[in-house]
Structure 1
Amino acid sequence: MSEAILDVQDKPKTGQWISLSLQHMFAMFGATILVPQLVGLSPAIALLTSGIATIIFILITQFKVPAYLGSSFAFILPITIATKTGGIGSAMIGAMFVSLVYAIVALIIWKTGYQWLMKLLPPIVVGPVIIVIGLALSGTAVNMAMTIPVGNASEYSLLHFSAAIVTLLTAIICNIYFKNIISLMPILIGIIAGYGYSAAIGIIDYGVIADAKWFAVPEFLIPGVDYSFQVTPTLLFVMVPIAIVTISEHIGHQLVLGKIVNRNYIKDPGLHRSILGDGIGTFISSLVGGPPKTTYGENIGVLAITKVFSVYVIFGAAVFAIVFSFFGKLMAVIETIPTAVLGGISILLFGIIASSGLRMLVDNNIDFGNNRNLVISSVILVIGIGGAKIEFSETFSIEGMALAAIVGVILNLVLPGMDKKEVDDGTK
């Protein structure tokens, strides 16, 4: 590993600090504001809570882990389903219960270690579940890209689809043909290019920008104040199983980040601290109407390229995110982004989610000549993508991704031939 320009505990000079922190903020900006746009939440709240969650995470991990927490794409499908059945408030309550799972897992890891978690959530279970999340959203992305609402229906629009194509191609070009910071911000650059093209072909309504204030407090969603809610078994089974994916994602990020900065984050400050930080960040975010959080690969990539590992730079990016969330005009501009542009970038993003599940299977050398692996992955994929459902009553059912994840975990535990290999904790 090449020598760090700024190590984890190093403080940069003021001018350098500002520029490096802004760089991190823009790296996560596009993805963080995209999630609320797709699920009907406030981009301003998403930006505000990403900053707050990151600061909480840094404090809980004792200023040892330079990770940024942004909006989690894994929750798009569960939030969409929960919102349709019980309103956006139900989705927020569900996310709070997910954070409770994080806390419980963190407590158990603190007391017993983490090997049990690796046994419960091996790649053969998590990989196919991630594939389900991406492919289940594919129809949504395509419809957003090529249709426009007409009354209670929608119709095909080549003009709008062209904006989606420009957005998608720009993001692909940035990701493939550039090897510097630009390659880490394909979402943001793609949205900017798509927005510019949309302006040129006249499909943007600027009215909301003119009406917006320069300074505006983000729109909070407080339980019991802005919405009423009811906790149901169905709500819990829609949201909570996603922790299977997000905790696995968290562990992967900690291992990768540890290798980049030459630290063992599984042992110090400990996986229990980082999972707890992630969970509390998600809880605070959901409590005020923001999307659930996760550590961001984009920012890990920035660390790898710049060799600036300073946790204070990440802290500065969090502060900038909080400040930017109060820029009313900027948030209004975000609201005017055409659905086609969001659809274009979503085609790439949802595909990447599915592909990351495939990559997990490949990276872990999953042998599909082994009937056990073939059965587990096949059942997860068909149940999840096919939308299978177990309905216990009119108000309680388990379906789709949640059912697929639960069945996958059970099959992995009960089928003979479980892999006994030692789990790499990042120390090798």
Structure 2
Amino acid sequence: MSKPLLDIRERPSTIQLITLSFQHMFAMFGATILVPKLVGLSPAMALLTSGIATIVFLLITQFKVPAYLGSSFAFIAPILVASGGLENGQNMNPGNAMIGAMLVGVTYGIVALIIWKTGYKWLMNILPPIVVAPVIMVIGLALAGTAVDMAMNITVETLDEATGETVLASVYSFKHFTVALVTLFAAIIFTVYFKNILSAMPILLGIVIGYIYAVLIGIVDFTAVKEASWLAMPDFLIPGVHYEFAITSTIFWAMVPIVIVTLSEHIGHQLVLGKVVNRNYIKDPGLHRSILGDGLGTFLSALIGGPPKTTYGENIGVLAITRVYSVYVILGAAVLAIIFSFIGKAMALIQTIPTAVLGGISILLFGIIASSGLRMLVENNIDFGNNRNLVISSVILVIGIGGAAFHFTSAFKVEGMALAAIVGVLLNLLLPGREKEVNSFEEK
């Protein structure tokens, strides 16, 4: 293993701190602002809360884990379900999404407490690859139609001949589709052909190049940027002030079951990060601390209007490439994100990103999410000649992608990804042959 240039507790020089912190901020920037853009929330709040959540995570993990927390893609579909979807690109009921994210944070806290008292083996036993991998595939594939629609179609006003009223309709646009393709292929090129720091931020670079092309063909309106002030307060969402705090079954079942997947993602990141920096983070500072840090970061994020958080693989990639593991650099990136969220013109510029750019990058991103689930199956040598494995994965995929729903009452239903995750866990626990499985998260 290569010797680190800066180890966990080593302090960089001022110049190193500034340049390396900016590097980490840019690595997470594209993905972190993409999530709120896709679900109709504030990118400024996503940046602000990513910085806050990261600082909280560092404190709880005793400044031993150099991880950055950004917006979680696993909650894109659940947020839309909990809040009732989008209208003209705006979230119809963002308060519901915030309540759901708070419940997710509380669930993380409960899991962390149980792990602290009983150990972590039980969690790994109920989350084997045959359950987690297909659910990860569902996260990506269930959003495939959304990505393609964003890439190809634009919303225009048209006349309804039956009523004579003006309505909004989605129509194909060749010009916008070319923007999506330029964005997509730019991201692919940076992912495949670059091996240095640029390969760690293909989302951001793809968005930048797609945006430049969109400007050149004249589909970007800079009016909002010109009118925006240099300093601006992010759009806070405070319970009891901006929305009524009320927990419903729809919110709970849309958001909380996805913890099954995000906990697995968290454990995987801790193991990978541990290998990169030559530490055992499952034991020190302990899985319970890192999960609690993730959960509290998500809770505080939602409390002021930000999306759920997760540790970012992009920043782990930067650590591996640069061999700079200092937590002070991660802390610096968090502070920069907080500062950047108050720059009004920058946030207004983000709002001018065309939907086609987001669609193009989403085609790659959602596909990578689905493919990472497939890779988990391959890496863990899951035998599909075994009917048990075949049944579990098949049921999860069809229920999740097909959008199956369990309606208990008109206001109480479990559907799509959440239902798929629950059914997968139950099938794994109930079907015979479970003792023969090898869990991917066990340390080698």
Q: TM-score, normalising length from structure 2? A: 0.95
Matched AA of 1:219: D
1:8-407 residue pairs with structure 2 within 5 A? 8-84=8-84, 87-151=93-157, 152-407=168-423
Gaps of 5+ in 1: none
Matched AA of 1:66: P
For 2:249 and 2:201, how far apart are their aligned partners in 1?
39
Note if contact 2:388-2:433 (Cα within 8 Å) is conserved in structure 1: yes
Give SS of 1:9's match.
coil
Matched AA of 1:51: G
Note if contact 1:115-1:423 (Cα within 8 Å) is conserved in structure 2: no
Note if contact 2:128-2:438 (Cα within 8 Å) is conserved in structure 1: no
Q: State which drifts further: 360-369 or 248-257.
A: 360-369
Note if contact 1:264-1:426 (Cα within 8 Å) is conserved in structure 2: no
Q: Cα offset for 1:153?
A: 1.1
Matched AA of 1:83: S
Cα distance per residue 1:54-91 (max 9 Å; x no partner): 00000000000000000001110100111117711111
For 1:113 and 1:331, how far apart are their aligned partners in 2?
43
For 1:97 and 1:345, how far apart are their aligned partners in 2?
30
Q: Cα offset for 1:425?
A: 6.4
Q: Cα offset for 1:223?
A: 1.1
Note if contact 1:26-1:185 (Cα within 8 Å) is conserved in structure 2: yes
Query: How many residues were matched structurally?
Result: 428
Cα distance per residue 1:375-402 (max 9 Å; x no partner): 0000001111111111111111111111
For 1:11 and 1:368, how far apart are their aligned partners in 2?
49
Task: Say if 1:128 and 1:421 are closer, same or farther in 2 by CA, change over 3 A.
Answer: closer
Give SS of 1:149's match.
strand
Q: Cα offset for 1:205?
A: 1.1
For 1:213 and 1:282, how far apart are their aligned partners in 2?
29
For 2:399 and 2:119, how far apart are their aligned partners in 1?
32
For 2:94 and 2:231, how far apart are their aligned partners in 1?
26
For 2:325 and 2:426, how far apart are their aligned partners in 1?
40
Note if contact 2:268-2:441 (Cα within 8 Å) is conserved in structure 1: no
Note if contact 2:129-2:440 (Cα within 8 Å) is conserved in structure 1: no
Q: Cα offset for 1:231?
A: 1.4
Matched AA of 1:5: L
Q: State which drifts further: 224-233 or 376-385.
A: 224-233
Matched AA of 1:341: V
Matched AA of 1:94: G
Stretches of 4+ aligned residues off by more than 4 angstroms: 420-427
What percentage of aligned pairs have identical amino acids? Answer: 72
For 1:264 and 1:221, how far apart are their aligned partners in 2?
38
Matched AA of 1:113: G
Q: TM-score, normalising length from structure 1? A: 0.98
Give SS of 1:294's match.
strand
Q: Cα offset for 1:424?
A: 6.8
Task: Say if 1:116 and 1:226 are closer, same or farther in 2 by CA, change over 3 A.
Answer: same
Give SS of 1:205's match.
coil
Task: Say if 1:384 and 1:314 are closer, same or farther in 2 by CA, change over 3 A.
Answer: same
For 2:438 and 2:144, how far apart are their aligned partners in 1?
36
Cα distance per residue 1:167-196 (max 9 Å; x no partner): 000000000000001011111111100110
Cα distance per residue 1:247-306 (max 9 Å; x no partner): 000000000000110000000000000000000000010111101000000000000011
Q: State which drifts further: 52-61 or 395-404.
A: 395-404
For 1:205 and 1:422, how far apart are their aligned partners in 2?
54
CA root-mean-square deviation: 1.2
Gaps of 5+ in 2: 86-91, 158-167
Note if contact 1:238-1:402 (Cα within 8 Å) is conserved in structure 2: yes
